[in-house]
Structure 1
Amino acid sequence: MSQTPRILIYGASGYTGKLVAESLAERNIPFFFVGRNRERLEAALAVVNQRLGREAQAQIAVASNTAEELMPLFTQVDVVINVAGPFMQLAWPVVECCLEAGCHYLDTTGEQDWVLAIKQQYGEAFAAKQLLLSPANAYMWAAGALAAEVVLENEGVDTLDLIYQIDNGLPSEASTKSFLRMQCNETSQYYLEQNEFKAWPNDQAYQVVVPYRAQPYRALPWGGACEPVWYADHPRVRNCSVLTAIGEHIVDGVLEAIGQFNALSQGMTQEQKEQLTNQIGDQINTGEPPKDDVDVQRSLVVCYGRGRTLTTQFVLNLSAPYSWTGEVCAEAAQRLLEGRVERVGFQSVATAFDYRDLLRCFHAKGYCNLPPVGVSA
């Protein structure tokens, strides 16, 4: 592979940026390592190199998220991986510059409103340029999309109910702020019911039952997820809902933060609400967590499928979700460079590429199980 970088990580100095860089470097893919602060970038790249045991083929570049600073870099690459959130607050210039420069756009958002907004505003424009616009290349919500595609192999399925359950969840600083701004949103957090978006209450937890676990779990809408957005235009899917059992050690703190937000945000503008969730996120953030572990941060992503005359399910075992996020970004970027994309425009990773081939790839790396061969009604 050429030593000239054709991939750029933006927001690279954070927790997820380091994992994406590590996954690219393990594939011997050169990349630009970009953010707003050179010292932080140098320190982050040193961590990546220490994990690898060698130097990654990375070029550090400093740029704020303005068109003036991004465009000179974006015109040099084919793929941008954006890991700088909260995305609804920060990512608009990144998407706009990708479109203008002719770059494929990947990000690691979990913010449903951001995904819905860029679908509506940029989906057709990216498709017209044969570019991929693919948000949420991360555990949340790419894993559920992969599981859903397996379930949808059953032709009669028109309803998807998904549960994410993770042991010992360790949200990063950026994830804490992103999901808090979504979970506190009292007017969205959508699920899909009879082809219409409806909003979850923002201050309720729900009891869920997860296969192969003896006890029920409390789960939250966790921003509504991206699967309802991706499947809103599916020719068969009428209903789609997602709940997340992030961990009992987190649920009470999140509900307390939501209560604080609901009490303080009365009469605020949207901009003031965004500032408030950032402040609350700073209060509950515990710093950058350690890199996750396949034997500690294990998860199940359950997709139940129903139709008029059948029920089915697929349980995806997926371990070390943050490390897997780095893998799915790197794998998607590599396939884009190789021309192995199946659909362009606004797509999940599961529909942009061969989802079964992706699962085979991640299984070979020890992250997940394989789906059954053929349909499983």
Structure 2
Amino acid sequence: MNNNRNVLIYGASGYTGKLVAESLAKRNIPFYMVGRNQAKLEAARNIVEQRHGAPIDAKIVVSSNATAELLPLFEQVDVVINVSGPFMQLGWPIVEACLQANCHYLDTTGEQDWTIAIQEKYGQVFAEKNLLLCPANSYMWAAGALASEVVLETEGIDSLDIVYQVDNALPSQASTKSFLRMQGNPDSQYYLEQGEYKAWQHDKAFTVVVPYRSQPLLALSWGGACEPVWFKMDDRVRNCRVLTAFGDEIVNHVINVIKEYSEKSQGMTVEQKEQLTNEIGDDMTTSEPPKDDRDLHHTVIVCRGQGRQVTKTFELSLCAPYTWTGEICAESAQRILNGQLKAVGFQSAAKAFGHHELLQTFHELGFTSLPH
């Protein structure tokens, strides 16, 4: 194997995997494309090369997600980017293989319960080995962490209220399955209140107001988000809530789906419930969406901060959020390879690489706004 090939994408044939591969290719970073199906991986590489407009330095390897099978491959790389979800169903062997092989671990999860679970099991041991454990290194929920760090620069802020507002939402199949399995759970979608987790009402739409729109919007807890998890271990923050508004029509449809799911899932085991949300997700998103567009797919993450005597608001504008997910994964890998990692163990991208550094880079690339 090529010793200079230090980055690996697991689940590379999927929607997000192709975006990560394209962003790595743009940075001239050689990488492995790993998954369970040779034909799908080859087709994915062809699509990435078409988008990139040139051959890419990517080697295909077929592997299951069994730790023993992954370990010899992971031992050849420094960074693993896991894009194979739902993560609570598929991700455990991949994190374990990273730990045993001394690899930095990044993933693109949106699953709050997965983020909490790997923090509890692996956060300390990754830190002891000087390795990064960075879940949700993606639009959801790294963008909110970046916006929050800007707000927290104002001394005295101890409470964060975050809204993701999304135009022309374009969820992939894996994302739909991941969020449905969380949104359907009545007991484990958390916000942070006085330093403790509190559960959202899972089958309710909330009304939010964003400063640049003339009408209020409907929003969902959408799994709870990962910002409350990162800030639970941050002495600056006592309260943190995150809601997502991606169109009233979609929100109302999801609420109806969740209510139907709640009725159907009565008496089911956890495994049966997860199978049901997978089936519902397949029905809701029947094919892979096209790559998102910077002029069509806009989002703003509004972070409001409050303290005893101070308030602060930052509106982080961001375009093509799925493409940006590929970009932040590739940028993170590049910074690790360049020795620019700022913090190890369980960290958000904002803490691992610096929020100002990332915002400046993505502003220059045409994706994000900068703080005023």
The answer, yes or no, to whether TM exceeds 0.5 is: yes
Structure 1 residue 160: deviation in Å? 0.3
Question: Which residue in the other structure is 1:298 paired with?
Answer: 298
Query: How many residues matched?
Result: 371
**Residues 194-221 of structure 1: CA deviation (Å, up to 9, x unaligned):** 1110000110001111121111110000
SS of structure 1 residue aligned to 2:17: helix
Aligned ranges for residues 141-160 of structure 1 at < 5 Å?
Answer: 141-160=141-160
Unaligned runs of 5+ in 1: 373-377
1: CA distance, partners of 2:76 / 2:247: 42
Q: Which amino acid aligns with 2:161?
A: D
Question: Which residue in the other structure is 1:55 paired with?
Answer: 55
Aligned ranges for residues 1-377 of structure 1 at < 5 Å?
Answer: 4-372=4-372
SS of structure 2 residue aligned to 1:142: helix
Q: Which amino acid aligns with 1:270?
A: V
2: CA distance, partners of 1:315 / 1:191: 20
Structure 1 residue 3: deviation in Å? 7.6
Asked whether the equivalents of residues 151 and 305 of structure 1 are also in contact (C-alpha less than 8 Å), the reply is: yes
**Residues 6-59 of structure 1: CA deviation (Å, up to 9, x unaligned):** 000000000000000000000000000000000000001100000011011000
**Residues 241-299 of structure 1: CA deviation (Å, up to 9, x unaligned):** 00000223421221121011100111212111111111111121131111101110001
Q: Which amino acid aligns with 1:117?
A: A
Q: TM-score, normalised by structure 1?
A: 0.97
SS of structure 2 residue aligned to 1:56: coil
Unaligned runs of 5+ in 2: none
2: CA distance, partners of 1:348 / 1:125: 17
1: CA distance, partners of 2:277 / 2:285: 12
Off by >6 Å, runs of 4+ in structure 1: none
2: CA distance, partners of 1:97 / 1:238: 34
1: CA distance, partners of 2:286 / 2:356: 37
1: CA distance, partners of 2:98 / 2:3: 22
Structural RMSD (CA): 0.9
The worse-fitting range, judged by mean Cα deviation, of 207-216 and 244-253 is 244-253
2: CA distance, partners of 1:74 / 1:187: 36
Q: Which amino acid aligns with 1:145?
A: A
2: CA distance, partners of 1:69 / 1:196: 39
Structure 1 residue 191: deviation in Å? 0.2
Call closer, same or farther: CA 1:3–1:27 in 2, change over 3 Å: farther
SS of structure 2 residue aligned to 1:161: strand
Percent of residue pairs identical:
64
2: CA distance, partners of 1:100 / 1:185: 32
Q: Which amino acid aligns with 1:47?
A: I
2: CA distance, partners of 1:254 / 1:312: 32
Asked whether the equivalents of residues 162 and 304 of structure 1 are also in contact (C-alpha less than 8 Å), the reply is: yes
Q: TM-score, normalised by structure 2?
A: 0.98
